Structure 1
Amino acid sequence: MRDPENVFHLAIPCADLDATQDFYVNKMGCELGRRYDDRVTLNFFGDQVVCHLDPDGIDKEPKMYPRHYGVTFRHAADYDALLDKTEKHGLPFFQEPFVRFGGKREEHRTFFLIDPSNNLLEFKHYNDPSMMY
């Protein structure tokens, strides 16, 4: 079980630190932790995402599965607020918002974004919070 005092850490490649910081901080609303010449560290909804400058590590043709990351929101209002912010800032969808598993216990709303370095982000909300895991 996760101790809420601990923070999950994810490191991903990026092609351009300025574009990465603009996408995550200015448009998505993530908090900038720190920035160095080779990386940007972000507070990504309470967890740590570090975007390492690695233009050669960029996925030229990203696919949703199996590699993406994101947040499963417990509250629909948080999902809706991020979706509104995404649309307001014109962030690029990799997959427009849709409902998965409609009518089933695991039904959830989801959308995928693509960041400036082709990293895919999924955000979702389950009607039944017991399905979050």
Structure 2
Amino acid sequence: MRLSPFHLAIPVYDLTAARLFYGQVFGLEEGRSSEHWVDFNFFGHQLVIHEHPKTATQESAHTNAVDGHDVPVPHFGVVLSMDEWESLAERLTSLGTRFVIEPGIRFKGLVGEQATMFLFDPCGNALEFKAFKDIDQLFAR
């Protein structure tokens, strides 16, 4: 299946800190920008950080229980290959990243087994990165 890149614009109340985070922590390539927003190549997708006053979800994240963990809602992220996920987990760990949910395996031995990790950007936006043991189970029940 060929996927089309998504476009996601998110609010950030500290454009400078968010720009450094996405550019340096993740090593994302920067695209167009202005004094109020910045485009990033987010693993082949277009992520735009827009300067915006702090939102309620950035102030205090809601969570839902998933496989024994409190998953922040809302959140966004990307499904990577297992090699890419492992590399990213190593990079983030080596940089001393504070995880909301540490890198690990969810639904072990079940349909949809996946590697996952959660973290917040400096403005309180929750991110999840995952990789499936079998990508054909992405939507399996």
* TM norm structure 2: 0.84
Residue identity in the other structure for 1:38: H
**Runs of 4+, deviation exceeding 2 Å:** 55-58, 63-66
Q: Which has the higher contact order (CA 8 A, sep 6+)?
A: 1
Q: Is the 8 A contact 1:92 1:115 kept in 2?
A: no
Runs (5+) with no aligned partner, structure 1: none
Task: Name the residue aligned to 2:59.
Answer: 60
SS at match of 1:56: coil
Give the strand-richer structure, 1 or 2: 2
Task: Name the residue aligned to 1:27.
Answer: 25
Please tell me the root mean square deviation across aligned C-alpha atoms, in Å: 1.7
The structural deviation recorded for 1:8 is 0.7
The structural deviation recorded for 1:61 is 0.8
Q: Is the 8 A contact 2:73 2:126 kept in 1?
A: no
CA 1:65–1:114 in 2, change beyond 3 Å: closer, same or farther? closer
Matched-pair identity in %: 37
**Alignment partner of 1:46 out of 44, 47, 52:** 44
Runs (5+) with no aligned partner, structure 2: 63-70
Task: Name the residue aligned to 1:87.
Answer: 93
Counterparts of 1:71-82 in structure 2, within 5 Å, are 71-73=78-80, 75-82=81-88
- Distance between the aligned counterparts of 2:87 and 2:54, measured in 1? 34
Task: Name the residue aligned to 2:123.
Answer: 117
* TM norm structure 1: 0.88
Q: Which moved more, 1:91-100 or 1:47-56?
A: 91-100
**Alignment partner of 2:77 out of 70, 75, 97:** 70
- Distance between the aligned counterparts of 2:88 and 2:113, measured in 1? 19
- Distance between the aligned counterparts of 1:56 and 1:28, measured in 2? 22
